Chain A
Amino acid sequence: MSALTLTLKAPLTQRVDCSPLTPDFLAGKSLSEIASIALHSGNRKLRVDALFDLTGDDSSNIIIQNSSAKLDFLGSKMQSGSLTVHGDAGSYLGFQMKKGEITVHGNAHAYAASGMAGGIMHVNGNVGDYLAAAIPGDRKGMKGGTVIITGNAGDRAGDQMRRGIVLIEGNAGAYCASRMLAGTIGVLGSVGDYAGFGMRRGTLLLFQTPKLHATLQDCGSHTLPYLKLMFKAFQALPSRFAAIDNTRVRRYAGDLACDGKGEILVFG
């Protein structure tokens, strides 16, 4: 069995909702059945084979070749298997994903890992705004799982995030961890203004000294032994976070304008 490979035929002019292209939805379907699935594209519906060349037969392992930033909802509500994207991914990558693995060799757009509840997402590139955030109308962002971003993240990474781990190896934009409810975000690079704005609980791990706003309270330097456990858990991950072993932090509590139970740990 070889991986089910969908190769985008031509550059897209309109965005395409790819939510049906998940291992769970395609399981047990023949190539011709998959070819005839209709994908929403703007105000039209397009057949899969109008957009992609299809080869392979293992729908638990899907590869998108020649991908485009206009392919939205890749891996949406995914519950098993793996999805590999060569090229860029559009918005809502791994939207409400429950299990399985998504790997992108390229950039992803806004709302990556929004509503994600489990599984692992690895983006070898940058992501847009609202990484692991809640889409408008939802009360919670990411609810579980692990996200690794090797590049930079845009603004509002982890907005209203509820659980899970987001590891950003590059920089994060403004309002990182804003309105965060719980969970862990790590940023190896810099963060923009207003990190932890409206943060209620949760942990933000930073490795460069951020510029913090007034309602984040400096609680001094500490050695926190539990961090050893956390970094041990990171060791298995394909990320630069795996190499970290440091328990000495400067701790900031906040956002005191909200519950103030969140913490920003800055490693020296």
Chain B
Amino acid sequence: MLIKLTGGRVYDPAHGINGKIMDIYARDGRIVERALDGERVDQEYNLAGKVVMAGAIDMHTHIGGGKVNIARTLLPEDHRGDPVPHSDLCRAGCGHAVPSTYITGYRYAEMGYTAGFEPAVLPMNARQAHLEMGDTPIIDKGGYAMLGSDDMLLRMMSANADQNAINDYVAWTIHASQAIGIKVVNAGGISAFKFNQRMLNLDEQNSFYQITPRDVLQRLARAVHELGVPHPLHVHGNNLGVPGNMQTTLNTIAGVEGYPLHLTHIQFHSYGTEGDRKFSSGAAEIAAAINKNKNISADVGQVLFGQTVTASGDNMVQFRNASHASPNKWVCMDIECDAGCGVVPFKYKDQNFVNALQWAIGLEIFLLVDDPWRIFLTTDHPNGAPFTSYPHLIRLLMDKTFRNEMFSRISPDAQAMSTLGSIEREYSLYEIAIMTRAGAAKLVGLHDRGHLGIGAGADITVYTDNADREAMFKRPDYVFKDGQLVVEDGQVVKVTWGATHVVKPEFDRSIEQTIAKYYDKYHTVNMKHVKVTDQQIADDGRGHVQVHACEGRREKTA
């Protein structure tokens, strides 16, 4: 099966292609250079005047795992309020902030996204996460396994274990959870919460283990780097949402001693304490630090106004914010004595000083970080806003007039505290393609996604150029997933099943003896049953595991 996309304007930053008119061929799901001599083109699409990009990749979106299901259970009104009936092709479902799995897949595809990565796969809950992602159609999936507050690691660290042992444990965790990276949430803080600590600064000790978040970050960042995992340590920092946490973030950046680090939803970690209300934007300082430290990347976690729900492993923060729950109900819980979880519904309001400033801080960070290869477009779905608001966010970044008009409508006190109105920058289509495609693929370690080079998976999105970028990105003309036309004119026309992307770093298998003993002694489940196998992901014939190389961070796309 050979398809030809003729005459589209192509944006492929991985190969430096910026709006060049060119043809693209894809044979059996892979992009090829040209048709063989005498080969018949099965389908040709005339894309004259259209914009062609690789399928977009959301590198941080909560689409699977325990806390998403808890959020669904907690918010029946979210589901009642947004029912989706089935069609001949698609299943029924529901949900605005936390849509059901099938609807998540359809909506991502209908926006031109072809991959999404769940950032908090608790090893103990990995099976649940993969089951949910296995029910998410069309898009590719993957997850970052969560470490940093688990007792096994903290015990090893307090016993001053050798870095090699920690590397082995980290690699085992990636294998067992079928993950593509490692995430740390409030390093050591989820554990500290259980010992009645309600705050944990970067250099403050966990009162039981006598270990600081700085130690945890250094150990894990080094482990991830030494194992050659392409995705740098994915860090949800300490003190999320606390005014003045900008300093914690700057210290974190300085504290990893040059190891690659990805700071996630950095908007929530960029707050100062200036002004009458002791809450101000730290965007300028944070952006300067990211610009200066090339080992650091970040995604923004933009806040957009409206009803959503915050779901996080960081129960320390969620417990602190529980009083802001709207509607007034929340959950904070331990999960299998291995980590925690907090779900707090939230309504961001444009006339609320704090929410409005959060909105402005996110946009300031987007616009002040110079290198689009190291800053990523997320709302930390669903924490800042549901992923369906991405087209709106893209318009805010690409259209200064629109942005300033929105800015003029937020709380006047917040306007006075923000420099957003004076920032002239507008993102170009090329930069958006970096942020949402090439850069994201490079960051996650996907060698054959996020670009349109020869051999890449034929995940391609075609838009009609439109000055209203929200309308443009909301409704792609065509979306191809692995060479198959899955969306036409913003509607799903074919349901396919994507791959689960993982890495499998080498490690010394003898660590399993230690881990097995630990599970036997302390856990409710046997170690064998925690491990998710390739077969279990592929079992129902709808998914498969795609392993990516662990060769350290890829610098150039092949």
- What is the interface of chain A, defined by CB distance below 8 A to chain B? 40, 43-45, 135-139
- Determine if A43 and B92 form an interchain contact, defined as CB atoms under 8 angstroms apart: yes
In the complex the two chains form, is B327's CB within 8 Å of A43's CB?
no
Q: Identify which of residues 315-339 in chain B touch chain A, using a CB-to-CB cut-off of 8 Å.
A: 327-329
User: By the criterion CB–CB under 8 Å, are A40 and B75 in contact?
Assistant: no
Are A44 and B85 neighbours in the complex by a CB distance under 8 Å? yes
Query: Residue B49 at the A interface, CB < 8 A?
Result: no
| A-B contact sample (4 more), CB < 8 A, given A43-B85, A43-B92, A135-B76 | A40-B83, A40-B85, A43-B86, A137-B76
Q: Enumerate 6 A-B pairs (CB-CB under 8 Å) in ascending A order.
A: A136-B76, A137-B75, A137-B76, A139-B327, A139-B328, A139-B329
In the complex, the chain A residue whose C-beta lies closest to that of B73 is A137
Residue B203 lies at the interface, judged by CB distance under 8 Å to chain A: no
Q: Which of B77, B83, B86 contacts A138 (CB 8 A)?
A: B77
CB-defined contacts of B77 to chain A, threshold 8 Å: 137-138
| Most A CB within 10 A of own CB, among B85, B327, B329 | B85
A-side contacts of B85, CB under 8 Å: 40, 43-45
Q: Shortest CB–CB separation between residue A229 and chain B, in angstroms?
A: 32
Q: Compute how far the CA of A139 lies from the CA of B74 in the bound complex, rounded to whole angstroms.
A: 11
Task: Map CB proximity to A onto B53-96 as digits: 1 under 8 Å, 0 otherwise.
Answer: 00000000000000000000011110000010110000010000
* Residues in B neighbouring A137, C-beta threshold 8 A: 74-77
B75: A residues at CB distance < 8 A? 137
Chain B contributes a number of interface residues (CB within 8 A of A) equal to 11
State the Cβ distance, B516 to closest chain A Cβ, in Å.
41
Residues from chain A with Cβ under 8 Å of B76 in the complex: 135-138
**Cα of A44 to Cα of B75 in the assembled complex, Å:** 24
Task: Give the complex CA separation of A71 and B328 in angstroms.
Answer: 31
Contacts of A44 in B (CB 8 A): 85
Q: How long is the Cα–Cα vector from A43 to B85 in the complex, in angstroms?
A: 6
Q: Which of B327-374 contact A (CB under 8 A)?
A: 327-329
Task: Quote the shortest CB–CB distance from B469 to chain A (angstroms).
Answer: 31
Smallest beta-carbon distance B439→chain A, Å: 40
* Alpha-carbon gap, A33 to B92, bound state (A): 25
With CB as the reference atom, state the residue of chain B lying closest to A136: B76
Complex contacts, B86 vs chain A, CB 8 Å: 43
**Residues 150-204 (chain B) with a chain A CB within 8 angstroms:** none
Give bound CA distance, A104 to B329, whole Å.
34
B42 to chain A, nearest CB (A): 35
Q: Give the distance in Å from the alpha carbon of A138 to the alpha carbon of B77 in the complex.
A: 8
* Min CB gap B324→A, angstroms: 16
Q: Least Cβ distance of A201 to chain B in Å?
A: 17
Q: How distant is A261 from chain B, measured CB to nearest CB, in Å?
A: 20
Smallest CB-CB separation from B83: which chain A residue? A40
Interchain CA distance A136-B327 in the complex, whole Å: 14
CB neighbours of B92 from chain A (8 A): 43
Min C-beta distance of A137 to chain B, whole Å: 3
Q: Which 4 A-B pairs have the closest CB atoms?
A: A137-B76, A45-B85, A43-B86, A43-B92
Measured CB to CB, the nearest residue on chain A to B329 is A139
Shortest beta-carbon distance from B77 to chain A in Å: 6
CB of B92, distance to nearest CB on chain A (Å) = 6
- Chain B residue at minimum C-beta to C-beta distance from A115: B77
B77 to A, closest residue via Cβ: A137
B554 to chain A, nearest CB (A): 46
List the B residue with the shortest CB-CB distance to A17: B83
CA distance A45 to B86 in the complex (A): 9
Residue of B nearest to A42 (CB): B85
